[in-house]
């Protein structure tokens, strides 16, 4: 009896078995992709939002601006020739009675098309040529580098002036020429970057596995210099718009009856002091457009390479 009581007491006094604590599996956070990191940085960059907002408004104006006015770029209001801004003509009229707002909208359309096509196209050429030259090395690299240096000797503007007779007044042909003559500097940068990437293990592995030159360049070289290409394509849009405006201003670009910001500036420069609206509205539109693109490109550069802002400071 005593032994039973002792056994009971020992069972009662024995520590109760505790339930195993739930094992909380700590899942390692999935590393963010480079694109998400860049986008997160852009979200905290005010100048990106300012530039992007203004650029979107300008693009919308170029697309839908023609529906905001009753006038077309070729319409003439003979009763209000050379008139300052009014309710009927928001930006005024020129000496022939053309509505300046309608002409600016038409000029914006051409400038934006040229910029958004020629800029990225020039960057694409630079990426392919520079990456191919840097990867090939040897005589292939020297031959391509010689062509690049030869094209850099002559200013691009001078080359475009020489090619003007072949454009036959077509702004589409001029856009192609702008893309073909604007890739050399970035090609040199990509070429130098590729020469260092060529000795990396993943490139050597792809070469030893029998991949062709173009396959290695497309799959391994260009993705590793994509950040430089993205920045160059963004800033190249502004450069191509400015190049088109300069050519049209001097009479080597868009030809009448078509209009661009360059032709409007050329027509309004002689009246900048007597009829300032003819010059100020096209000039202001061009400045705001280039500034918006530059803000976006500058923010994108800092988001891709955070040390660039430190280096500039």
Q: What is the DSSP letter of 136?
A: H
Distances (CA, A) of 279 to 115, 197, 250, 262, 284: 22, 49, 15, 11, 8
Residue 12 has a pLDDT of 47
Residue 199 lies in a domain: yes
Beta bridge partners of 93: 99
Residue 311 has a pLDDT of 41
Tokens of 103: 């002409």
Residue 18 lies in a domain: no
Residue 284 lies in a domain: yes
- pLDDT averaged over consecutive 10-residue blocks of the chain (313 residues)? 46 48 44 71 86 94 89 83 85 87 91 92 91 84 86 79 76 87 88 83 77 77 82 89 88 81 87 86 93 90 66 43
Residue 120 lies in a domain: yes
Residue 64 has a pLDDT of 92
Beta bridge partners of 76: 98
Residue 189 lies in a domain: yes
Residue 33 has a pLDDT of 65
Tokens of 109: 């359309």
Instruction: Answer whether 221's CB lies under 8 Å from 131's CB.
Output: yes
Residue 116 has a pLDDT of 93
Residue 218 lies in a domain: yes
Q: SS3 of 47, please?
A: helix
Domain hosting 135: range is 37-73+100-308
Residue 255 lies in a domain: yes
For residue 276, count other CB atoms closer than 10 A to its CB: 14
Query: Which CATH number does the domain housing residue 126 bear?
Result: 1.10.3720.10
Residue 274 has a pLDDT of 84
How far apart CA 60 and CA 65 sit, in angstroms, is 7
Residue 286 has a pLDDT of 93
Residue 23 has a pLDDT of 44
Residue 290 has a pLDDT of 93
Residue 52 has a pLDDT of 92
Instruction: Answer whether 115's CB lies under 8 Å from 238's CB.
Output: yes
Residue 147 has a pLDDT of 87
How far apart CA 265 and CA 250 sit, in angstroms, is 10
User: Structural domain tally of the chain?
Assistant: 1
How far apart CA 69 and CA 90 sit, in angstroms, is 9
How far apart CA 52 and CA 48 sit, in angstroms, is 6
Residue 148 lies in a domain: yes
Q: What beta strand segments (E) does the chain contain?
A: none
């Amino acid at each position: 009896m005593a032994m039973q009581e002792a056994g009971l007491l020992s069972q009662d006094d024995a520590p109760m078995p505790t339930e195993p604590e739930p094992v909380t599996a700590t899942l390692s956070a999935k590393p963010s992709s480079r694109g998400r990191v860049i986008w997160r940085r852009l979200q905290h960059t005010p100048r990106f939002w300012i530039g992007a907002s203004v650029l979107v408004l300008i693009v919308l104006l170029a697309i839908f601006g023609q529906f905001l006015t009753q006038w077309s770029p070729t319409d003439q209001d003979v009763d209000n020739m050379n008139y300052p801004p009014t309710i009927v003509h928001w930006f005024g009229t020129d000496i022939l009675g053309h509505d300046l707002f309608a002409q600016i909208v038409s000029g914006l359309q051409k400038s934006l098309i040229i910029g958004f096509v020629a800029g990225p196209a020039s960057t694409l050429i630079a990426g392919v040529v520079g990456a191919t030259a840097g990867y090939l090395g040897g005589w292939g690299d020297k031959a391509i580098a010689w062509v690049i240096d030869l094209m850099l000797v002559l200013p691009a503007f001078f080359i475009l002036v020489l090619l003007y007779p072949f454009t036959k007044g077509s702004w589409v042909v001029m856009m192609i020429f702008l893309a073909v003559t604007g890739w050399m500097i970035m090609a040199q940068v990509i070429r130098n970057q590729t020469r260092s990437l060529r000795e990396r293990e993943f490139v050597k592995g792809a070469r030893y596995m029998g991949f062709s030159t173009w396959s290695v360049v497309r799959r391994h070289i260009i993705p590793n210099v994509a950040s430089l290409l993205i920045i160059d394509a963004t800033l190249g849009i502004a450069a191509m718009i400015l190049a088109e405006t300069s050519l049209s201003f001097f009479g080597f670009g868009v030809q009448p009856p078509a209009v661009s910001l360059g032709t409007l500036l050329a027509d309004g420069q002689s009246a900048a002091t007597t009829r300032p609206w003819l010059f100020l509205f096209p000039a202001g539109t061009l400045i705001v457009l280039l500034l918006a693109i530059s803000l976006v490109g500058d923010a994108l550069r800092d988001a891709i390479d955070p040390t660039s802002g430190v280096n500039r400071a």
